[in-house]
Structure 1
Amino acid sequence: MSDPRVPGEGSVIELPCGETVRFGDLDLGMREYQCDCGDAHAVVMDVHPPERFLPDFLVEVLREAIDTTSEEMREFGTPHLMGIVLEEFPEAVVAEDASEDADVGYALVWVADFDARRLHEVVVELVIELMEHAVSHGEDEGALREFEGMMHEFDVSAFVDQYRDERDLDAEDPYA
């Protein structure tokens, strides 16, 4: 968790690798942090839209299908996606509340032990699992078989490559 430092230095995050980084060193356009440990860590902030990982139409479907109970986050978004990731990989992702640091421009930040591309794959894989779970609770066995058949043919890695190319995630787009 973050520890206060000398006044003016800002709060720090202890990364999954054991290194630390100041909130102020993570800017809104950052998707990866090149760590002193030698690895790149995925960085996600609450201000990044879920379309960073998923197509617009799917985000809309998820928003319509998933009821959120939080007064602060009334519609499905990036914090919910990262909550799913954090639940599945609690040792590989750190989440920090930066809301007390008005200089950074974000309230929540997540830093993963894996890079941004791998995080993208993880998000897609977990959303597919969530969708499969939802379909399995439906009354239409045919829909479940059809969904499972489509998912056997779905290549997560190829989807992520194509999506990242289409979104140009190597460009300097802070919300990509």
Structure 2
Amino acid sequence: MAQPQVPGDGGETLELPCGETRSVRTFDLGMREFDCACGERHAIVMDAHPPERFLPDFLVSVLREAVETTSEEMPEFGTAHLLGIVLEEFPQRVVSADVSDDGDVGAGILWVTDFDSRRLHEIIVELVVELMEHAISHAEDDGAVSAFEAQMLEFDVSEFVAEYRAERDLSEDDVYA
């Protein structure tokens, strides 16, 4: 949970899922993960990061058309919704902070996870596939349901993430991946 600090001392402090604390100003828009003092790497996501960081453009477009949002602040499906799904599934392994009042951070919302960036990417893809499976299960077209189920039997999340990250040049060893 973010804790207010004295102005000018480096911003709010965020308690990470591992128990370590960091100033929110430690993180910047270019970071995708960092090596923590706890010995683990934690993924970093900001609302300014596009959802295409995790999913192909065409899928983001489909999700934007299909998913109705109820928020005036976030009227279209985006990164905040993806991290909301992760937070709902793993509430103890994700922390977030509203950093919109801190101009030094450069974002409105910051999430830090107990996962490294690659595992977070896999989790997001897994959860989106589950969302799609749920949606297709309500279809009245048995052929579409069967076709989707057959495609999902061949879909390998880990392989997809590896290929997508390679295509986007998000190296495993890159702290900014």
Q: Distance in 1 between matches of 2:77 and 2:111?
A: 17
Aligned to 1:141: 142
Aligned length: 174
Q: Distance in 2 between matches of 1:4 and 1:36?
A: 22
Q: Distance in 2 between matches of 1:107 and 1:12?
A: 15
Aligned to 2:19: 18
Aligned to 2:166: 165
Aligned to 1:27: 28
Q: Distance in 2 between matches of 1:87 and 1:24?
A: 25
Q: Distance in 2 between matches of 1:88 and 1:37?
A: 23
Q: Distance in 2 between matches of 1:91 and 1:138?
A: 34
Aligned to 1:41: 42
TM-score where L is the length of structure 1? 0.95
- Structure 1 portions without partners, runs of 5+: none
Identity rate of aligned residues, in percent? Answer: 66
Q: Distance in 2 between matches of 1:148 and 1:23?
A: 42
Q: Distance in 1 between matches of 2:96 and 2:142?
A: 38
Q: Secondary structure at the match of 1:134?
A: helix
Q: CA RMSD in A?
A: 1.4
- Show CA shifts across 1:146-171 (max 9, x none): 11111011000000000000001139
Q: Distance in 1 between matches of 2:37 and 2:6?
A: 21
- Show CA shifts across 1:13-40 (max 9, x none): 1000000111111010000021100100
- Show CA shifts across 1:69-115 (max 9, x none): 11011110000000000000111111111112122100101100010
- Structure 1 residue ranges, 4+ long, deviating more than 4 angstroms after superposition: none
- Structure 2 portions without partners, runs of 5+: none
Map 1:71-110 → 2, pairs under 5 A: 71-110=72-111
Matched, 1:152 2:153: yes
Aligned to 2:4: 4
